[in-house]
Amino acid sequence: MIDWLGSMAALTAFGQLTPRMVAMWVVAGVLLYLAVRRQFEPLLLVPIAFGALLANLPTEGLINPPVGDSPGGLFHYLSLGIHLELFPPIIFLGVGALTDFGPVIANPRTFLLGAAAQFGVFATFAGAVMIGFSMDQAAAIGIIGGADGPTAIFLSSQLAPEFLGPIAIAAYSYMAL
Residues 6 or more apart whose Cβ sits within 8 Å of residue 163 = 137, 140, 141, 156
Specify the pLDDT at position 175.
66
Specify the pLDDT at position 129.
94
Specify the pLDDT at position 83.
87
Name the average pLDDT for the chain. 83
pTM: 0.50
Long-range contacts of 58-61 (CB under 8 A, 24+ apart): 58/13, 58/14, 58/15, 58/16, 58/17, 58/21, 59/13, 59/16, 60/12, 60/13, 60/16, 61/13
The one-letter amino acid code at 54 reads L
pLDDT tens digits, one per residue of 86-104: 887 787 777 777 777 888 8
Which CA distances in Å does 106 have to 64, 109, 110, 115? 52, 9, 9, 17
pLDDT tens digits, one per residue of 31-90: 999 999 999 888 888 988 998 998 888 877 777 788 888 888 778 888 888 888 888 778
